[in-house]
């Protein structure tokens, strides 16, 4: 065999592509990997509601921080039917909130946040969090929490709780409690008790 014919054979073999068997082996390996990995990426109902509650707690805390930093009144209004909540900042410092677009935009935080697809305002099959004697899913008067320029809740001395439930599980529930001093606390229902 001459040097030229050997070069031709090597070049032809290098560009011939993959065999059917090689492709089937790759597809089988990818299929096995997907079967093993995909179930690990599913989020449990408990984790799903906890993530939504963490986001809401951060948003409420952001609203309180904005009240402190701007020395203005801030409101977070929960809309149970629409499954969302909206933040407002008293942009003209007149001491009242009219829930205008300008006040919503002035908060510079979350504006209106819709709850994740499988989350709703609900208590499910759980008891109230400690220190909550009410029976609703949103225990703030008027379904809103307001913070004054010192970060305290309005009306003075009144707190409340918002309960979130994952729709496929009556016990996948989390709660965000706001104390009269403005502190935000996240509660999660686990093993028949609030933690």
pLDDT digits (tens, 9 = 90+) for 36-49: 776 666 788 898 99
Average pLDDT, the chain: 87
Give the pLDDT confidence score for residue 5 in this predicted structure.
56
Mean pLDDT of all residues in 148-156: 91
Please check the confidence at residue 32 and state whether its pLDDT lies above 90. no
pLDDT digits (tens, 9 = 90+) for 62-93: 999 999 999 999 999 999 999 999 999 999 98
Confidence of residue 17 (pLDDT cuts 50, 70, 90): confident
Query: Mapped to the 3 state alphabet, what secondary structure does the chain carry?
Result: CCHHHHHHHHHHHHCCCCCHHHHHHHHHHHHHHHHHHHHHHCCCHHHHHHHHHHHHHHHHHHHHHHHHHHCCCEEEEEECCCCEEEEEECCCCCCCCCCCHHHHHHCCCCCEEECCCCEEECCCCCCCCCCCCCCCCECCHHHEEEECCCCCEECCCCCEEEEEEECCCCCCEEEEEECCCCCEEEEEEECCEEC
Structure tokens at 97: 């909130």
């Amino acid at each position: 065999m001459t040097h030229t014919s050997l070069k031709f054979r090597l070049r032809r073999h290098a560009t011939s592509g993959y065999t059917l068997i090689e492709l089937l082996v790759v597809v089988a390996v990818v299929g096995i990997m997907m079967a093993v990995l995909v179930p690990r990426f599913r989020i449990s109902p408990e984790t799903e509601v906890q993530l939504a509650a963490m986001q809401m707690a951060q948003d409420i805390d952001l609203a309180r921080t904005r009240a402190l930093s701007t020395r203005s009144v801030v409101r977070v209004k929960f809309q149970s039917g629409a499954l969302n909540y909206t933040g407002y900042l008293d942009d003209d410092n007149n001491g009242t909130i009219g829930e205008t677009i300008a006040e919503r935009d002035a908060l510079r935080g979350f504006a209106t946040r819709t709850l994740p697809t499988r989350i709703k305002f609900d208590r499910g099959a759980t008891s109230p969090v400690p220190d909550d004697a009410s029976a609703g899913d949103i225990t703030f008067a008027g379904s809103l929490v307001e913070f004054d320029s010192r970060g305290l809740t309005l009306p003075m001395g009144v707190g409340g709780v918002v309960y979130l439930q994952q729709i496929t599980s009556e016990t996948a529930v989390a709660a965000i409690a706001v104390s009269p001093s403005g502190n935000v606390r996240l509660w999660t229902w686990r093993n028949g008790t609030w933690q």
